[in-house]
């Protein structure tokens, strides 16, 4: 893909709050002679009708601008990985580890981006194999129970070697990028995206000795559902929820492709952590 791009796609959270930022993005692109394509939600907010499905939009563009929260960002990530298109995420939500660019600076940031002044970070993604189906996950894949208030039993293997029988509410396998998402809430560690690792985090494990585990990302992880469990689901990046059959296994490894993510040149990863997690410095008196 050429960069700066000659065509930009805009995907927005379906909320009226996104309206002025969509207008700003369009104005900047048009001033630079860059054509714009809109996703269905963005076109709907503008009242234009039409708009393209995510995969079709990404396939046509050299850059995707996401205006929304991390959920909106994650919904676009698989298509962006497949087509090798970078994503710039502008945060319209509350936390926003992925949509780290502020909407208050969307005009300035886009002008810099279209002048090739922004930084691109390549993030590893998970390849999730379930039966004959293949999926991509930027953050995590979660195996968890249904609505029944009971623990489930899973077996974890690493490169075909048995590691543990797990009795818990579920199990999270995350990338370093996803270590600040569900895994963090479940007690997992924060891992810098530059670290070559995967994080395995049990959810409310029955055994107190079963702790989060950080492993090299060259491993192939297999999670198998117990034959006798009544209801188990696999959730991929919080976007896809799939039932897991009795005795079925999922295989998780790092895909050879990467997500190209636009980062703010003013904010490094540690400052982002400090701001998002409210690690502000308080002087002692």
Active centre residues (catalytic): 70
> CA end-to-end span of the chain, whole Å?
54
Residue 157 CA to residue 219 CA, distance in Å, equals: 10
Q: Name the strand (E) or helix (H) holding 78.
A: helix 70-83
Torsion angles phi and psi, residue 112, rounded to 5? -65, -40
Residue 259 burial class via C-beta count within 10 angstroms: exposed 0-12, middle 13-18, buried 19 and up = buried
d(CA 215, CA 199): 6
Q: Angle of helix 19-31 relative to helix 106-113, nearest 10 degrees?
A: 30
Rounded Cα–Cα distance for residues 279 and 268 (Å): 14
Dihedral pair phi/psi, residue 104, rounded to 5°: -70, -20
Q: Which two tokens stand for residue 255?
A: 């895909």
Listed in order, strand segments (DSSP E) in the chain are 7-12, 35-38, 63-68, 87-91, 101-102, 119-130, 133-137, 140-145, 152-158, 161-168, 170-174, 197-203, 213-216, 221-225, 232-236, 240-243, 249-263
Token match 């998002």: residue? 276
Tell me which residue of 112, 109, 5 sits closest to 62, measured CA to CA. 5
**Separation between Cα atoms, residue 107 and residue 240, nearest integer Å:** 33
């Amino acid at each position: 893909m050429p960069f700066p791009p000659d065509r930009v796609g805009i995907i927005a959270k379906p909320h009226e709050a996104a309206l002025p930022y969509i207008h700003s993005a369009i104005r900047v692109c048009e001033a630079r002679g860059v054509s714009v394509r809109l996703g269905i939600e963005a076109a709907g907010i503008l009242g234009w009708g039409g708009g393209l499905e995510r995969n079709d939009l990404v396939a046509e563009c050299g850059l995707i601008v996401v205006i929304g929260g991390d959920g909106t960002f994650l919904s676009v990530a698989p298509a962006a990985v497949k087509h090798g298109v970078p994503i710039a995420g502008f945060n319209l939500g509350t936390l926003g580890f992925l949509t780290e660019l502020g909407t208050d600076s969307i005009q300035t940031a886009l002008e810099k981006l279209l002048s090739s002044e922004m930084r691109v970070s390549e993030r590893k993604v998970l390849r999730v194999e379930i039966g004959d189906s293949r999926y991509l996950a930027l953050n995590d894949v979660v195996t968890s129970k249904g609505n029944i208030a009971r623990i489930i039993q899973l077996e974890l293997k690493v490169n075909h070697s048995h590691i543990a029988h797990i009795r818990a509410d579920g199990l999270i396998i995350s990338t370093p990028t996803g270590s600040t998402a569900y895994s963090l809430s479940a007690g997992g560690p924060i891992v810098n995206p530059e670290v070559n690792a995967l994080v395995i985090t049990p959810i409310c494990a029955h055994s107190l000795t079963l702790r989060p585990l950080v492993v090299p990302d060259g491993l192939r992880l297999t999670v198998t559902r117990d034959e006798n469990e009544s209801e188990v689901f696999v959730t991929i990046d919080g976007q896809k929820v799939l039932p897991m059959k009795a005795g079925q296994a999922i295989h998780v490894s790092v895909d050879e492709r990467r997500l190209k993510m636009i980062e703010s040149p003013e904010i490094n990863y540690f400052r982002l952590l400090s701001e998002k997690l409210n690690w502000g410095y308080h002087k002692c008196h």
